[in-house]
């Protein structure tokens, strides 16, 4: 090995075999470069430099090994973190997809449980997904009428996992204003009862992004508010809602057991020959018209029962009509409207079931809108059991037909 000093006397930098190395001060020779000419000195310096180079190489190797260990450790930690994150995400998705049945829903129908939990606006979607097998009960196919028990597990597909969220930004201001103006007939920690006006849809769906129930959730800050029963858009009167799922389940059971009594007022075309009686017919869903299903009589239809009582008969401009009190004992779609039309006394203003001549005569006396009003609702409180009785006065639009006419009381 050839050693040659670089620089002036006392310099610490040396070039060994083409590489620059820096010696410690104790190895630097005293005096000038010329003092290095003897062989022992060269060998001593060369050995020292070699040992120093080996030490530097050892430290570099240790540094590289340490860097490799750190990179491997960091990669392992990243993989573990990724796996934990993936497991947590998988667990969250699994939790979101499973609905556990508690004691409050024990014995209830599957479709009613899901409607109560997910909202009435999803009723059609829920029924379709159950029938297609997308909704599973304890990992098995099921039917809408299947009964659930406490502890059952219901698998929900993607389209049902996220609860519907509605805020004031997505609800029209006009709808919020109408909902806020509705008279509140009763309210406590379990129930909310309002006098619904005609023309308001009770929930979103069927061409409506939002309805009365969504508006009331925002206005009253009640995210769990649910409809206990429904009224058609053009029907006015008493509308009952539950503020929690337990109250809703008990109210639904009361409706199913017919423990509630509902009374409607209707203005119908003509004077019924029989002033009191019971209408019994079988109703089934038929052809579609105007985006809604018509309900017609059919041999395979479900039995529908309604009691009626003629209250007052009217005559105006040669057009006969009467006020009836109606008490339904079943809850079929459009039940009152179809049964009265089938008896030859269609409800005034019913554009779906009334005849053209009846609609024209109704308009000729200044009538507008459907003359059907949910006047009274009697029930037991779902928690306390106390008897409740709610009544809603008929709309002002009825006054013209009730006052400006010749009337005959029954």
Catalytically active residues are 232
Rounded (5°) CA angle 295-232-164: 110
DSSP string, 269-317: ES--SSSEEEEEEEEEEEEEETTEEEEEE-TTSEEEEEEEEEEEEEEET
- Give the whole-angstrom CA distance, residue 304 versus residue 342: 13
- Give the whole-angstrom CA distance, residue 267 versus residue 319: 12
**Which residue bears the tokens 């309002």?**
194
Decide: residue 317, CB within 10 A, 0-12 exposed, 13-18 middle, 19+ buried: exposed
Show the tokens assigned to 204: 């979103």
Which uninterrupted H or E stretch holds 73? Answer: helix 39-97
- Give the whole-angstrom CA distance, residue 229 versus residue 115: 12
283-290: which pairs have CB atoms within 8 A and are 24 or more residues apart? 283/332, 283/333, 283/335, 283/338, 283/339, 285/333, 289/352, 290/352
**Which residue bears the tokens 């109250």?**
247
Provide CB contacts within 8 A for 216, sequence distance 6+: 179, 192, 194, 222, 225, 241
DSSP string, 84-138: HHHHHHHHHHHHHHEEE--GGGTT-BHHHHHHHHH-GGGHHHHHHHHHHT-SEET
Q: How many CB atoms lie within 10 A of CB 261?
A: 13
- Give the whole-angstrom CA distance, residue 194 versus residue 392: 9
Show the tokens assigned to 91: 């667990």
Show the tokens assigned to 362: 């109704």
Show the tokens assigned to 287: 């052809």
Helix residue ranges per DSSP H, 120-196: 123-132, 158-161, 173-180
């Amino acid at each position: 090995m050839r050693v040659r000093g670089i620089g002036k006397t006392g310099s610490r930098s040396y070039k060994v075999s083409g590489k620059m190395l820096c010696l410690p001060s104790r190895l630097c020779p005293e005096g000038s470069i010329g003092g290095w000419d003897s062989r022992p000195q060269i060998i001593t310096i060369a050995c020292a430099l070699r040992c120093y180079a080996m030490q530097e190489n050892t430290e570099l190797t240790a540094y590289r090994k340490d860097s490799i260990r750190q990179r491997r450790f960091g990669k392992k930690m990243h993989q573990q973190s990724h796996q934990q994150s993936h497991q947590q995400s998988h667990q969250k998705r699994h939790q979101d997809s499973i609905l556990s049945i508690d004691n409050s829903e024990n014995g209830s129908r599957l479709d009613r449980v899901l409607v109560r939990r997910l909202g009435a606006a999803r009723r059609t979607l829920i029924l379709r997904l159950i029938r297609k097998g997308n909704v599973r009960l304890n990992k098995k196919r099921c039917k809408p009428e299947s009964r659930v028990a406490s502890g059952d597990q219901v698998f929900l597909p993607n389209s049902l996992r996220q609860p519907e969220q509605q805020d004031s930004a997505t609800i029209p201001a006009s709808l919020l204003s109408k909902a806020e103006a509705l008279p509140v007939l009763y309210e406590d920690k379990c129930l909310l009862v309002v006098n619904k006006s005609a023309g308001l849809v009770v929930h979103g769906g069927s061409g409506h992004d939002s309805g009365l129930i969504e508006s009331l959730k925002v206005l009253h800050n009640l995210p769990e508010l649910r409809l206990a029963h429904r009224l058609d858009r053009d029907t006015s009167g008493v509308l009952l809602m539950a503020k929690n799922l337990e109250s809703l389940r008990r109210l639904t059971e009361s409706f199913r057991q017919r423990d509630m009594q509902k009374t409607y007022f209707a203005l119908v075309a003509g004077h019924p020959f029989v002033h009191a009686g019971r209408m019994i017919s079988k109703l089934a869903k038929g052809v579609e018209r105007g985006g809604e299903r018509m309900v017609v009589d059919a041999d395979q239809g479900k039995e529908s029962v309604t009691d009626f009582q003629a209250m007052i008969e009217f005559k105006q401009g040669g057009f006969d009509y009467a006020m009836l009190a109606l008490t339904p004992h079943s809850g079929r779609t459009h039940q009152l409207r179809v049964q009265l039309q089938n008896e030859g006394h269609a409800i005034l203003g019913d554009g779906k079931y009334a005849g053209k001549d009846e609609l024209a005569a109704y308009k000729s006396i200044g009538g507008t809108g459907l003359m059907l009003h949910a006047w009274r609702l009697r029930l037991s409180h779902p928690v306390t059991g106390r008897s409740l009785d709610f009544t809603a006065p008929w709309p002002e639009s009825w006054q013209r037909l009730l006052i400006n006419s010749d009337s005959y009381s029954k």
